[in-house]
Chains A and B, each alone.
Chain A
């Protein structure tokens, strides 16, 4: 019986034969240099945060540190905008002082770049590297920020491995990537997500790890509840144009989410003729980092985008319109994530989320229910 030494594959359907020798076909696409052990450890660290954590965040952060000290794994279940990334800064700092190897894995490439910039400003004294497809020359650092696909380079490497957005495509439900995750982590792991099912939570609790739940955003305001607007055919476009115009007049940045790349281009070319100052972003767009950066600075008033911007993006005072939210790519968790883009800053905690579609689907209703349920757990606001 053949078992792959890299991905642990035993399925005969994924075993090929080259000159009589078996080889694994499941992980054959992952080819590249493996990382060498990082010898330059500074054993020191300085955390530079120019804002304070909320009491909930501080408490959660303390619990995470304690759990990691006890060598237990941690699962963080926190709503969108609870400040998940800040929670782990303390643990990273502690690990860096002890000279342990830290990894920060995220399924999405854009989020990797975002987190990399953030960690760099927070830990100015430590060497932090970002590793993703197209940027993999420098593999060694005290903190390695990487996409889930690059984990194959790090065999039993990380003393502390943090996995953000565990429910996101392509990590979620991919047996190969999960196997890679287990393989590269020799110490403890921290998993973070905003949309976990009861099943996943029960499964994790059975392994004896520490579960941390936060059902409140760091600024204490409730999650914005989406409005469902039902319109047929071309009327959707008219509604979209009118809504965009009013948002642009109020000087509010807008994301318009579209299900597919083709529709993204079509809708963008149509809408930009009526409302000025827009652009579109999808995964095939090469200079999308630049466009997003320009959007932040206010060069563009709105962006038509596919699901690439669904996670890990924080823009002040953002409004969101989901165009054709009845499409099958929009699952409940995706819609909750998209709604969670809105109102993430302290000085602009409110915003509009509009699901614009022909009909109501169970996923849309599910997302609404979930957001309302999370808001109900809040203590009453004054």
Chain B
């Protein structure tokens, strides 16, 4: 993947580190206007060629840091993926060659960003575990594209922890900064 220097400057990596429920969360980028427009192009318009741009030069670091891990993407509803033709989180992390396990799936096709604060908290009810997979004693990396309030991530962490992985870390592409 080659990016010109002008685009490269805009993809300003921060690797901001926080913790939720004792799990390390790394956010590669801040969710600024540039990220917003690019993620919209990928997700909303289905421009699949953009997918490898998000990791590009950080790929070696990610490969090294998360070796022997298994990627579990945060789910989106199947109807939306069919409409788009692909799942954006899988596409972003496909170029890292870390094996992907689809351990979670979603039963509601409502977008998290359209809901109110109260409704967002109920997200855990719509996420289900795929009984066919086994993650016991595996290192799991949970990945997502945008993290806003963290309710989805929290629900996913809880669900993965119930199935006893060896270790769990979270990597999100961009994170909306707290307004407070």
Contacts and interface: CB of A to CB of B under 8 A. Distances in A.
A269 B47 CA distance: 42
Contacts of A25: 47, 49
A28 interface: yes
A18 B41 contact: no
Contacts of B22: none
- The majority secondary structure among interface residues of chain B is loop
Interface in A1-53: 16-19, 23, 25, 28-29, 31
A133 to B, nearest CB: 13
Contact of B45 (A17, A19, A28): A28
Interface residues of B, number: 9
B171 to A, nearest CB: 25
Interface string B24-48: 0000000000000000010011111
Contacts of A17: 48-49
Contacts of B48: 16-18
Interface residues of A, number: 9
Given A28-B41, A29-B41, A16 B85 contact: no
Contact of B85 (A18, A28, A29, A31): A18
B47 A16 contact: yes
A25 B86 CA distance: 16
Contacts of A23: 46
Interface of A: 16-19, 23, 25, 28-29, 31
14 contacts: A16-B47, A16-B48, A17-B48, A18-B48, A18-B86, A19-B85, A19-B86, A25-B47, A25-B49, A28-B41, A28-B46, A28-B47, A31-B44, A31-B45
Interface of B: 41, 44-49, 85-86
Given A19-B85, A31-B45, 9 more contacts: A16-B47, A16-B48, A17-B49, A18-B48, A25-B47, A28-B45, A28-B47, A29-B41, A31-B44
